[in-house]
Amino acid sequence: MPRSESDPGCVAVLNAGSSSIKFALYELGTEGALLFDGQVERLGGAAQLKVSDQSGKSVAECSWPRGALDHHGATAEILKLGRSLLAGRRIAAFGHRVVHGGVKLIRPTRLDAGVLAELERLVPLAPLHQPHNLAPIGVIAQAAPHLPQIACFDTAFHRSQPALAQEFALPRALTDEGVRRYGFHGLSYDYIVTRLRESEPDVAGRRLIIAHLGNGASLCAVHDGRSVASTMGFTAVDGLMMGTRTGTLDPGVLLYLMEEHGYDASRLEDLLYRQSGLLGVSGIASDMRTLRQSGEPAAAHAIALFVYRIVREIGSLAAALGGLDALVFTAGIGENDAATRAEVVQGCAWLGFALDPARNDDGGGGQRRINAADARPVLVVPTDEERMIARYTSAAVLQEES
């Protein structure tokens, strides 16, 4: 579809999670300006939609009664609102975060019936996320079948890992069936690496560990801008302790729970994904801010285990990299919680890391170096998965048009 001279068009990004859909509108172009962003939260509960313009000013707020809005309904509301916000400007394409691309879909891909069938086939590998990611795609395909939709995969960044890093010690037939390590948070890591290439080229080419510490948390070992290993594996429950997820757990624990306590799959899923992590260990909250503000010893204990697990996994990834040159913190906790950064870096002193406390405590936000003058680089780099999807979507559209 040719672009009009006067309006290059916009790119709409959707990032659908289990109970929310984040969305953003950008000018078309690899560095296209952000026009609006927002989210619908508490889907299935008392849903709320909020949208801000590029200056952060609120431009729309709506709420729905309990249970009135699911992912399909929310997408329809976002489309309706987007139309009114764009005031006659056209959308050139939609970009979607899709958690699982399997081993075949290793770069952003235009959706058609064949690709959609492949993504449906991958649902059993990510049953808690993939169906939510696919719901908006179906609604948009019905409402605007002529518009391109581009899927960007959380697994894709990790496909550069060596074969050994992607395997479990399982019989080959299971590996061949797809029971292997995929890794997630790839769009976040991809964004950080792109930012570092632009702003810190000396660091970008070295051996890094990027710590994506949010409600979901993982580490990625990166060498020369490519993923070498990561803490998440077959699912997003592996690796680090998270807000409500266990992270790595001896599989024997699952057998014990099944045999001694009669756990079935759905009870195990609830335990592994929703009742554990910071929430389960503290018995107080999954949210780092709440735990930091709590004076309870159980809160401090949960944070201590969270940090311990990160430091242990950094050691493992440093071995996979054959040495470590820099550490990067990102996502809600990594960007904002100076105490977690200080405790993690303290645990990595043996690797040559030390912080400049004043720089670490500077709550100014934005990208910054926080290491002591004579120590290896430690950076805070705010992540922006939606921006990464907008770039890929724009690139796909511009390539098709050229």
Is 333 exposed, middle or buried, given 0-12, 13-18 or 19+ CB atoms closer than 10 A?
buried
3-state secondary structure of 361: helix
Who's near 250: CB < 8 A, 6+ residues apart?
A: none
Active-site residue 112, yes or no? no
Residues contributing to the site for ligand ADP (CB under 6 A) = 214-216, 243, 287-289, 331-333, 336-337
Min separation Cβ 358 and ligand ADP, Å = 18
CB 228 within 8 A of CB 320: yes
How many C-alpha atoms does 374 have within 13 Å on its Cβ side?
1
Helices (H), 151-250: 172-177, 186-199, 201-204
Nearest 10 degrees: CA dihedral of 281, 270, 247, 165?
170
CB 178 within 8 A of CB 102: yes
Min separation Cβ 42 and ligand ADP, Å = 13
Cβ distance to ligand ADP smaller for residue 288 or 314 = 288
Residue 105 is classified by DSSP as -
Cβ distance to ligand ADP smaller for residue 351 or 370 = 370
> What b/e readout covers 178-196, taking b as 16+ CB neighbours within 10 angstroms?
eebbbbbbbbbbbbbbbbb
Phi/psi class of residue 93: alpha, beta or left (left: φ > 0; alpha: ψ in -120 to 50)? Answer: beta
**Cα 86 to Cα 10: distance, rounded to the nearest angstrom:** 9
Residue 157 is classified by DSSP as G
**Cα 84 to Cα 395: distance, rounded to the nearest angstrom:** 26
Min separation Cβ 98 and ligand ADP, Å = 16
Min separation Cβ 19 and ligand ADP, Å = 10
Cβ distance to ligand ADP smaller for residue 209 or 288 = 288
Cβ distance to ligand ADP smaller for residue 288 or 324 = 288
Cβ distance to ligand ADP smaller for residue 64 or 184 = 184
Residue nearest to ligand ADP (CB): 332
Identity (one letter) of the amino acid at 147? L
Min separation Cβ 332 and ligand ADP, Å = 2
Min separation Cβ 318 and ligand ADP, Å = 24
Alpha-carbon distance values, 120 to 16, 75, 116, 128 (Å): 16, 19, 6, 13
Min separation Cβ 214 and ligand ADP, Å = 3
Cβ distance to ligand ADP smaller for residue 139 or 288 = 288
Which is the catalytic residue, given 154, 325, 337, 384?
154
Cβ distance to ligand ADP smaller for residue 182 or 306 = 306
Cβ distance to ligand ADP smaller for residue 20 or 194 = 20
Alpha-carbon distance values, 286 to 83, 124, 250, 290 (Å): 37, 27, 22, 8
Min separation Cβ 237 and ligand ADP, Å = 13
**Cα 188 to Cα 271: distance, rounded to the nearest angstrom:** 26
**Cα 67 to Cα 44: distance, rounded to the nearest angstrom:** 5
Residues labelled as active-site residues: 154
